[in-house]
Amino acid sequence: MTVVAVLPGDGIGPEVAAEAVRVLDALDIAHDEHSFGGGAILAGGDALPAETLAACSASDAVLLGAVGLPELEGAAVRPEQGLLALRRELGVYANLRPARAEGIDLIVVRELTGGLYFGARGTRDDGTWFDTCEYTRPEVERIAHRAFAIARERGGRVTSVDKVNVLHTSRLWRDVVTELGAAEYPDVPLDHALVDSFAMTIVDAPQTIDVVLTENTFGDILSDVAAAVTGGLGLAASASLGDDGPGLFEPVHGSAPQIAGRGVANPAAMLRSTALLLRHGLGRGADADALERAIDRALREAPTRDLGGTASTRDAGDAVLRALDATPTL
């Protein structure tokens, strides 16, 4: 039997996850919920409890709301560490972050388990604090393969984004991407851009961008920029995939503490992540298409506050279920 591990997490995470669970129920997909993030730290001291990791590893796909609690910012054990550990444990190195709007259809392919977020860090005796950015050839090759394959499938092209004018790891990145493209994807147009000016291009000319291939930190930042030009973080979904094992599906946004607990968060990013779970995690492409159409319709009928409307999280979820032609469950 297919089982989805649901990790609601913190802040607006549980609010938007509740709407995703109603969609899973409407599609008769079994799911169970597990403790994760700030709530898990406060309950037992661990952001990613062993039971939660075991359930995720044994699942067919993992659906995550968001983590992050203001009171744990800067603490020794932080919710975000649990998220990084989960990504690493599941081996989901390829993070796909589509951004679509009128005239814009781009996808950020972000390397997710390397670079600055996973390198050695610490404080030296002389008082220097450091983080290190490291990449190996195989790490760059496998994410580049994903980006080229996606571009080939959609008849598009790849823009690889780096900082080769400054960073040593960007030299490796550019060389590996160039070599792989020439050797195995000569039919896929490839160009390179420097991350600073490319951030401007996303704002100025997003309609000219197709598949963006980039490393972990740049991808984190650029995907929020891409979200901003396509309707905001309330709409931005992601899929994190490895070579085998369950994928991890989560909105690009965080726990949004300023609006948490008020029932006003836009559940669309979470529901679009659920659609990505159906497509990439469970191989249910037709259900994914139907859900994406239902979300688009619901966004027109019941826009939430971030979109200038008045619909609550639940109202928006109801509209999606209606559009899916399912009876809302409570």
Question: Nearer Cβ to ligand IPM, position 252 or 320?
Answer: 252
Question: Nearer Cβ to Mn ion, position 254 or 317?
Answer: 254
* Binder of ligand IPM out of 25, 33, 80, 134 (CB under 6 A): 80
CA–CA dist 238, 95 (Å, integer): 7
* Binder of ligand NAD out of 258, 286, 308, 325 (CB under 6 A): 258
* Binder of ligand IPM out of 162, 220, 292, 315 (CB under 6 A): 220
Q: Which does 235 bind (CB under 5 to 8 A by kind): Mn ion, ligand IPM, ligand NAD, none?
A: none
CB of 32 to Mn ion, least distance (A): 27
* Binder of ligand NAD out of 25, 33, 80, 89 (CB under 6 A): 80
CA angle at residue 13 from 49 to 97, to 5 degrees?
95
Q: Which does 66 bind (CB under 5 to 8 A by kind): ligand NAD, ligand IPM, Mn ion, none?
A: ligand NAD
Interface with ligand NAD, residue 250, by CB under 6 A: yes
Interface with ligand NAD, residue 107, by CB under 6 A: no
The verdict on whether 224 is a catalytic residue reads: yes
CA–CA dist 244, 57 (Å, integer): 11
| Active-site annotation holder among 131, 191, 196, 204 | 196
Pick from 259, 257, 208, 255: nearest CA to 229: 208
Question: Nearer Cβ to ligand IPM, position 55 or 108?
Answer: 108
**Measured distance between the N- and C-terminal CA atoms of the chain, rounded to whole angstroms:** 24
Dihedral of the alpha carbons of 100, 301, 21, 13, in degrees to the nearest 10: 70
Q: How many helices (H) and strands (E) does the chain have?
A: 11, 12
Interface with ligand NAD, residue 234, by CB under 6 A: yes
Amino acid at 8: P
Interface with ligand IPM, residue 252, by CB under 6 A: yes
CA–CA dist 278, 272 (Å, integer): 10
Q: How are beta strands 94-101 and 104-111 bridged, if at all?
A: antiparallel
The verdict on whether 135 is a catalytic residue reads: no
Site for ligand NAD in 298-317 (CB under 6 A): 306
Interface with ligand IPM, residue 10, by CB under 6 A: no
The verdict on whether 117 is a catalytic residue reads: yes
* Phi and psi, residue 115, nearest 5°: 75, -155
Q: Looking up tokens 């394959």, which residue turns up?
A: 149
CA–CA dist 281, 233 (Å, integer): 22
Q: Which does 324 bind (CB under 5 to 8 A by kind): ligand NAD, Mn ion, ligand IPM, none?
A: none
Instruction: Please name the residues in contact with 152: beta carbons below 8 A apart, sequence gap of 6 or more.
Output: 185, 187, 188
CA angle at residue 20 from 2 to 87, to 5 degrees?
70
Would you please indicate which residues are annotated as catalytic (active-site) residues? Answer: 117, 163, 196, 220, 224
Q: What residue ranges bind ligand NAD (CB under 6 A)?
A: 12, 16, 66-68, 80, 83, 233-234, 250, 253-259, 265-266, 269, 306
Q: What residue ranges bind ligand IPM (CB under 6 A)?
A: 80, 83-84, 220, 252, 254
